[in-house]
Amino acid sequence: MKKSLITIFLLSSVAAFAQETLSPAGAVNVSGKQRMLSQRMGKDYMCLHSGIQPEAAQRELTTSQIIFDENLKALKLFAPNDIIKAKLNRQEELWKKYRELLNQPFADRNNAQNVLDMNSQVLTAAEDAVQEIVKYVSILPSKNETITGATVAKNTNISGRVRMLSQRLTLYYIAYVNGIGEPTSSLAVMKESAEKIQGIMSNLMTSEINTTDIDESIGDVIIDWRQIEERCTVDNCLNFEKKSVDPKNMFLITNRIVGKTDKVVGMYAKLLD
């Protein structure tokens, strides 16, 4: 009963949010969150297919689908030009196909492969929308005379990518551990995702617009990331072939990374609003 009430409260809050007009920085944040949700839902499907954290995965999968829908509504209300509207329409078109796959039985191994194939298409569409929104926001006048809108939009965007990359890494790790998909391809996606996380965290730590609070929050993300990095570094190279992180721990660690990175993204976005 308690979990049901929490879910109802969350969904009603999301529905109310969708009726509000997003700020420019909020649009960068929310459009970036669509990237993360596309990967989180695929991860949750793989977890359910594999019996990994099934209760948490089912709850995430259910709420993430609703949040994705409501975020899309809010973004379409915000859309200031035809290019962004077209990108969001394409995202919606692919999302409908992806959602249908996500709601198929978990015991169907072929469908698990289809989810693995489809998630990147939705991610690409979400990324296309983010880039157009960042482009639009970057030319808006900044309320802060010492910080350009372009710099804040860039940091909001790239910090938001860490959320997505953490979930993409876990999606392909769980697929790899359970023999879903082509192993070499999955390893390549994992290596790329991990290296991008490393690079983004390094870039953000040296950003000139960081406040002390932002620096500390980025450091908090790095603390969790090192639990994965240190277990998977072989000969100074990130390698997941040995499956050295328990899938359940990977699920928990990367979910913490999403939550902590959300805080960082929000702090950057406030510099623009």
pTM above 0.85, yes or no: yes
Q: Which of 5, 122, 128 is nearest to 65 (CA)?
A: 122
237 forms bridges with which residues in the sheet? Answer: 234
pLDDT, tens only, 94-104 = 999 999 999 98
In a domain, 255, yes or no: yes
In a domain, 51, yes or no: yes
The pLDDT confidence band at residue 20, using thresholds 50, 70 and 90, is low
* Count of domains observed in the chain: 1
The pLDDT confidence band at residue 148, using thresholds 50, 70 and 90, is confident
Q: Is 208 helix (H, G, I), strand (E, B) or coil?
A: coil
In a domain, 7, yes or no: no
Q: What percent of the chain has pLDDT over 90?
A: 77
pLDDT, tens only, 76-97 = 999 999 999 999 999 999 999 9
Contacts of 70-73 with CB under 8 Å at 24 or more apart are 70/14, 70/15, 70/17, 70/18, 71/18, 71/30, 71/31, 71/33, 71/34, 71/37, 72/34, 73/18
In a domain, 6, yes or no: no
In a domain, 155, yes or no: yes
Least confident piece of the model among 38-42, 150-154, 193-197: 150-154
Is the confidence at residue 185, as pLDDT, over 50?
Answer: yes
Is the confidence at residue 16, as pLDDT, over 60?
Answer: no
Is the confidence at residue 48, as pLDDT, over 50?
Answer: yes
Instruction: Provide mean pLDDT across the span 6-23.
Output: 55
Instruction: Provide mean pLDDT across the span 101-127.
Output: 91
Residue 261: the pLDDT is: 97
Is the confidence at residue 5, as pLDDT, over 70?
Answer: no
The pLDDT confidence band at residue 241, using thresholds 50, 70 and 90, is very high
**Domain limits for position 88:** 23-272
